[in-house]
Structure formats: structure tokens, C-alpha cells
Amino acid sequence: MLTNKNEVSLRRLKGKKRIEHLFRVGAVLHSKHLLLRYLYFDQGDSFQLGVSVAKRSFNRAHDRNRIKRQMREALWANKNLLTSSGLGMFVFKGRVQVKTEVLISECEELFKRLSKNNTTGDNA
């Protein structure tokens, strides 16, 4: 149960069917290094998010893992900007590693655009 009307919990996106549905039906927002594919739900109190880094861009697993940790940190730093329940997937589309502060600012920008799209009724 929600304690605040605008408070949404952040959970991990799991399940092959949910991820396939998200990529089939969801809408897309872009920033310089991140791509956010999202889909809103009417019911529920959680926004399920996943992170992904292409193996094509970073061959070494420790590089991909570092970027995914940075992306998760950016998500947790900006989770208070989420106002609706749904699904989302963050994909790192850069070819070079970036600082965590850059990802935090881009995540903040995407979440603000996401909440603006939700208030205007733009949903896939």
C-alpha cells in the first residue's frame, strides 16, 4: 500500500514474457548515453526496471558490470521522480565508459520527460 500518492517503489524487472512485451509494445525515450523503453500500468504501486549493456560495445564482463552498477546507482538516486507504476528497461548505448554523475543527470532528465509524458497521456 502506498503511503504517499506520488510514491512508487522501484523493483527489478524479471521474466522473459514481461521483457518481450515491453520491447514489443513500449515507447522509447533517448538521451546521449541511455535509451529508456517504458510502458505504464493503471494498477500497482511499483515501477519495474531493468538495465542492459551490449556485449558488442563492451567485450569484457567487468566493464559491462561496472556500467550496470553505475546505471542502478543512477536509478536509485532518481527514483523519487517516478510517479506511476509500469515497466522500464534502461539500455546503455554508448561505446565508452562515462562517469556516474553523467548517468545520474541523464537518468534524471529521462525520468522528468517520462513523468511529463505520463501527465499528457502519451502511452504506447
3-class SS at 33?
coil
Q: Which amino acid is at 97?
A: Q
pLDDT of amino acid 5: 55
Number of domains comprising the chain: 1
Range of the domain at 34: 9-120
Structural domain contains residue 48: yes
Beta-strand runs (E) in 3-121: 9-12, 27-30, 34-40, 46-53, 86-92
d(CA 18, CA 5): 25
Structural domain contains residue 1: no
pTM of this prediction?
0.85
Within 10 Å of residue 15's Cβ, how many Cβ atoms? 12
Per residue in 61-81, pLDDT (tens digit) is 999 999 999 999 999 999 999
pLDDT, averaged per 10 consecutive residues of the chain (124 residues), comes to 64 94 95 94 86 95 96 94 91 95 96 82 50
Structural domain contains residue 77: yes
pLDDT of amino acid 41: 83
pLDDT of amino acid 8: 82
Structural domain contains residue 2: no
